[in-house]
Amino acid sequence: MTAASLPFVAAYRPPAPVPHAAPLKPRQYIRALTDNPLTIWTQAQFEELYIQIDGRLLGPRLIINDPEGIRHVLVDNEANYLRDDLQKRILTRTIGLGLFAAEGQAWRAQRRILAPLFAPRAVGGFLPAMVEAAAAGARRLAALPEGSVIDAAPMMSAIALDVLERTLFREGFGVPLAELSRHSNAFIEGAGGVSLLDLFGLPSWIPTWRALRAHRSRRFIGDMVDRMVAERRARLAAGAAGTGEGEIRDLLALLLDAADRETGIGLSNREVRDNVLTFIGAGHETTAGALAWTLLLLSGAPDVRAAVEAEIDSVLGAGPVTAETVADLVLTRAAIEEAMRLYPSAPFLGRAAVKDDVIGGRPVKAGTIVMIVPWIIHRHQRLWSDPGLFDPGRFLPGRRDLIPRYAYLPFGAGPRVCIGSVFALQEAVVVLANALRDHRFDLVEGARIEPTQRITLRARHGIPMRVSRRR
């Protein structure tokens, strides 16, 4: 299918916070930032390419919406831009110092160790496992009574965790996936937001209501990760003693192998543990979110949904998703890519300038927080035509090439680009195709959909969908 042969007219404008006409007053700003950072933005930020903010509270900041400026920060001069302190604080208390949060030499070593698992060939090898997890998810749907209401986000989250168990963590998590999904959700909800302590740089051990609520879930996940690492270490040690048959070369094996090397560039125990946490967190919540938002969008645009269903029927028939068929699901993939434009799982990429620099002709002082905000860039008036409209045609052959590389950043860009991007897209297409093959999802009438930022983009009250059988 090409953009020129579309069987639908884009007409659906999905829910999003309305930008403010003028900047918020400091108290309103802090309230909005700690409640939902998506609600701090002004209309000008969706129209200008650079916005300098000399805020007294948070220091000098520069919002960059110019694709050239973004390339400068994320690619050309990336060594001068490290994750900012606020982001580091939130990352450290959620996923620790794994690949996502590490910098410099520690980051380079971890990325090199883990890269082989995410190379396109390795990801292609994960396809059958992804298909099995997606089919198991579809069977759970089939077992529901007709017309049942489910929340799309936890449903997708359980499938994405199953994918991780069958690919990156092949000895499993050792806990029921629904329970892990529930704790992960509660943990991110509790620990993943910006608190007043964060804004004022106060010690993070001061208890806050949100942190207390997340405590039980933090313990559940931490204990689970410790058990996974300890059990695998014990097995590897047995292997070293000559009984290591069936050793599994998954993420944990790569991490532990690197940790055991004596070259000095291996991983510390903390790095191993934090990377397990990182890949569970970054590896399921984001993809599950993209899928849940896609279901919402398709429910709001029945013409597009009918076209996606027709594509799935004609490409897959009754057969499974394979390497060939996955490539032919072009509209299905385009719908997911458009969902990641409107609802990017990572809505904010923050950096801090290490040394003075010049971006787009503007002097930038060391210490300036440089804000690259996919939430804004993907809805920017100067970068997209009718940006608020759900139109998967933008990502079909013929129009896809017109999108400037740095105007579409669901996975970031440059050396810190998402290591799991190929994995995530393949997984998303496989899971969506399996879910839509036999079932239709309709947003429950009157449901309140409120996009909210808690590290990732989430729906504050969930995405309740009624599931009916398509055939």
Give the number of residues in contact with ligand HEM, rule: CB under 6 A: 23
* 468 touches 302 (CB < 8 A): no
User: Which stretch, 21-29, 30-38, 184-192, 343-351, contacts ligand HEM (CB under 6 A)?
Assistant: 343-351
Position 411 contacts ligand HEM (CB under 6 A): yes
Find the shortest distance in angstroms from Cβ 220 to ligand HEM: 21
For residue 333, the SS3 value is: helix
Collect contacts of 38-47 with beta carbons under 8 A, ≥24 apart.
Answer: 38/347, 38/375, 38/451, 38/452, 38/453, 38/457, 41/17, 41/373, 41/375, 41/376, 43/19, 45/19, 45/373, 45/376, 46/19, 46/376, 46/379, 46/380, 46/381, 46/387, 47/380, 47/381, 47/382
Cβ atoms within 10 Å of 55's Cβ, excluding its own: 12
* Beta-strand pair 50-55/59-64: antiparallel
User: Which stretch, 29-37, 137-145, 280-288, 315-323, contacts ligand HEM (CB under 6 A)?
Assistant: 280-288
Provide the mask over 418-457, with x wherever binding to ligand HEM is found by CB under 6 A and - wherever it is not.
xxx--xx---------------------------------
Find the shortest distance in angstroms from Cβ 455 to ligand HEM: 10
Query: Among 307, 258, 352, which residue's Cα sits nearest to residue 10?
Result: 307
User: Per the structure block, which two tokens stand in for 370?
Assistant: 């440089």
* 416 touches 78 (CB < 8 A): yes
User: Per the structure block, which two tokens stand in for 151?
Assistant: 């929340």
Q: Which of 279, 384, 390, 408 binds ligand HEM (CB under 6 A)?
A: 279
User: Which stretch, 143-151, 199-207, 355-363, 412-420, contacts ligand HEM (CB under 6 A)?
Assistant: 412-420
Find the shortest distance in angstroms from Cβ 412 to ligand HEM: 3
User: Which stretch, 119-127, 143-151, 206-214, 281-289, contacts ligand HEM (CB under 6 A)?
Assistant: 281-289
* Beta-strand pair 59-64/369-372: parallel
Position 111 contacts ligand HEM (CB under 6 A): yes
Nearer to ligand HEM, 8 or 423 (CB): 423
Nearer to ligand HEM, 65 or 287 (CB): 287
Which residues make beta-bridge pairs with 60? 54
Find the shortest distance in angstroms from Cβ 108 to ligand HEM: 9
Q: Which of 90, 252, 290, 321 binds ligand HEM (CB under 6 A)?
A: 290
Cα–Cα distances in Å, from 309 out to 211, 359, 433?
A: 42, 45, 8
**300 in a labelled binding site:** no
* 296 touches 449 (CB < 8 A): yes
* 3 touches 396 (CB < 8 A): yes
Q: Which of 185, 286, 299, 434 binds ligand HEM (CB under 6 A)?
A: 286
Position 99 contacts ligand HEM (CB under 6 A): yes
Position 292 contacts ligand HEM (CB under 6 A): no
Find the shortest distance in angstroms from Cβ 409 to ligand HEM: 7
User: Which stretch, 201-209, 295-303, 407-415, 432-440, contacts ligand HEM (CB under 6 A)?
Assistant: 407-415
Instruction: Looking at residues 66 to 95 of the shown chain, list those that interact with ligand HEM (rule: CB under 6 A).
Output: none
User: Which stretch, 141-149, 189-197, 255-263, 405-413, contacts ligand HEM (CB under 6 A)?
Assistant: 405-413
Q: Which of 416, 437, 440, 458 binds ligand HEM (CB under 6 A)?
A: 416
Query: Among 250, 246, 268, which residue's Cα sits nearest to residue 110?
Result: 268
Position 171: which residue type? E
Given the rule CB under 6 A, which residues bind ligand HEM?
99-100, 111, 278-279, 282-283, 286-287, 290, 340, 345-346, 349, 410-412, 416, 418-420, 423-424
